[in-house]
Structure 1
Amino acid sequence: MFNAAASPSSSTGTGWCSGAPAAAWGYYNPPPPPPPPPFQPSRPSVPKPLMPPSAYGRKRALLCGVSYHGRSYNLNGTVNDVNCMKYFLVDRRGFPADSILMLTEYEADPYRIPTKQNIRMALQWLVQGCRSGDSLVFHFSGHGSTQPDYNMDEIDGSDETLCPVDFETQGMILDDEINATIVRPLPHGAKLHAIIDACHSGTVLDLPFLCRMNREGYYVWEDHGRFSSVYKGTSGGLAVSISACDDHQTSSDTTAFSGDTSTGALTYSFIQAVENDRGLTYGNLLNAMRQIIREARSGIRLKGPIAAFVNKVFGTEFPQEPQLTSSEKFDIYSKQFVL
């Protein structure tokens, strides 16, 4: 997780920006809805792969964990993150196991390696045939970055990006493309939750409304959509992004939560917060996640069902504050968080 326009972070701890090379830049010209047709397979010479789960049912999830294995900027906790998220969704939230598509570098099927092309196809799979009542989840754990905004739709002058395993040769995936692919097609009555454990990920879905805390200590919505000439909302559904940090911040890959297993600070704090309070609102969720990260920063060890799972399957600083963005405004103190 690093800034393409700046040198690697010099902060202490196990931040995911350490030692990252300059990123490949790209440009994305957002198409009008509906999303673009399916991309061609990234490896046409290999035999027909195992197909992802059929695009049906009321719950569906795409989990991407990118480790950048063998690189100087490799990450230790991303596969742990997606394994934890799959366990959480299936065992704790009733998602069918065959409705979850996982992309990691350790999959036997080459079409489930988190290349740029495969992630693009998987994002399209996530919203394929989506209808009212569906609940979709997109979880990404890996490097995030920024690059100059060429279509002038960003307040800070930078596009936020996700880095696939082959980003150095194929380029990064821009927030504009992510929005056009999984946000704009979302129909009335459907909902999407994105959990993005990456640096610079505050507005990586390019959603129009950003939740900020004002001087009085209350969360208020900032309208970022008015700065863009391109529609960034849905087709009637609700899209919510919970991300690791603000656009200018970095995030952490750490053992501070489980003692000896690397996990992303955002992924762990999200699961822990939901596990601890089944009836929590979005406001309570955001507060709980921030408190969990502050406690880990202070060296307080956390407990709970997911903590035991983390330890079974597999003194750090966290310069980050989880962020909440949405396709529409709502009262975060009364609206319940439901996957």
Structure 2
Amino acid sequence: TINDISNMKELLIKNFKFPKECIRVLSEQEQNANLIPTKHNKLESLKWLVKDCQPGDSFVFYFSGHGLQQPDFKEDKIDGFDETLCPVDFLGEGMIIDNEINSIIVWPLKEGVTLHAIVDACHSGTILDLLFKHTSGGLAICLSGCEDSQTAADSSVRINLWRNEYGVLTYHFTKTIREYSGITYGGPLEKMHDEIKKINRSRCNNRILQHILILYIYITIFFFHFLKRKIHDPLLSSSEKFDVSTTMFTL
């Protein structure tokens, strides 16, 4: 996820001209204790993001990491589960649920304020609860790595000689934005879907690995399951309806 963070930060600065001083990064590599991605620090940073929002403001919330689900104790979800993000201390402090995220960064959005959330994690389809709750007049758009019921555990790609790993959503989203100027919201989705289909096809057609694995029963069981697992398509959700095929993408 460190590679993902660096990739996204570079995109925001170089392609969308976000000032460096307006970007807050939380990661385990940070020396400042307030920037370690604990539950407390994440919630405080979400509040910082949209604090004193005014018409014309554009916010971006980006997350690359682990996502899970937990029972919906408020019983306001059709599938009976809340979607969650996992801070580094979630085993002791608990996860951050979609209801909290919505109340902190979606509900306060005033008219004329736009929020983009890009969440590269498992079970992230409705992580902002945009299907169930609304803003205070602003616009919230979320690009998720997969549907609520799906996992993205093997959503990584290896590039260049150093074989760095990136989340599939992050890598193909940033790659598409860099390569295609003036693209619509539907453009990155279409490009990402095409690339993910190629990756899934490549995994399913890897006959050499499948033949080698026949020699080892236990390894065969494990890797056959691995080869059959597919990277799931990303999806787009919004607090308002708009035409993704004609609306130009911008942050």
1:286 equivalent to 2:189? Answer yes
1:129 equivalent to 2:47? Answer no
Counterpart of 1:91 in structure 2 is 14
Distance 2:113 2:192 in 1: 25
1:335 equivalent to 2:247? Answer yes
- 1:255 is matched with which residue: 157, 181, 189? 157
Q: Gaps (5+ residues) in structure 1? A: 1-77, 209-224, 226-231, 301-314
Q: Report the alpha carbon displacement of residue 257 of structure 1 after superposing the two structures with TM.
A: 4.5
Q: Is the 8 A contact 2:57 2:113 kept in 1?
A: yes
Q: Report the alpha carbon displacement of residue 299 of structure 1 after superposing the two structures with TM.
A: 5.1
Report the structure, 1 or 2, having the larger helix content: 2
Distance 1:258 1:174 in 2: 36
Counterpart of 1:174 in structure 2 is 97
Counterpart of 1:238 in structure 2 is 139
Kindly report the root-mean-square deviation, in angstroms, between the aligned alpha carbons of the 2 structures: 1.8
Distance 2:64 2:198 in 1: 22
Matches within 5 A, 1:21-60: none
TM-score normalised over the length of structure 1: 0.64
**Which 4+ stretches in 1 moved above 3 angstroms?**
255-259, 296-300, 315-318
Counterpart of 1:322 in structure 2 is 234
Q: Report the alpha carbon displacement of residue 255 of structure 1 after superposing the two structures with TM.
A: 3.2
Distance 1:159 1:115 in 2: 20
Q: Gaps (5+ residues) in structure 2? A: 204-225
Matches within 5 A, 1:57-136: 78-136=1-59
- Helix, strand or coil for the counterpart of 1:256? strand
Distance 1:238 1:107 in 2: 31
> Could you give the per-residue CA deviations for residues 207-243 of structure 1, whole angstroms, max 9, x where no partner exists?
02xxxxxxxxxxxxxxxx3xxxxxx111111100001
Distance 1:85 1:276 in 2: 15
Q: Is the 8 A contact 2:196 2:231 kept in 1?
A: no
Distance 2:30 2:195 in 1: 32
Q: Is the 8 A contact 1:147 1:160 kept in 2?
A: yes
- Helix, strand or coil for the counterpart of 2:15? helix
- Helix, strand or coil for the counterpart of 1:83? helix
Q: Report the alpha carbon displacement of residue 318 of structure 1 after superposing the two structures with TM.
A: 4.0
Code of the residue aligned with 1:268 in structure 2: it is Y
Distance 2:118 2:20 in 1: 18
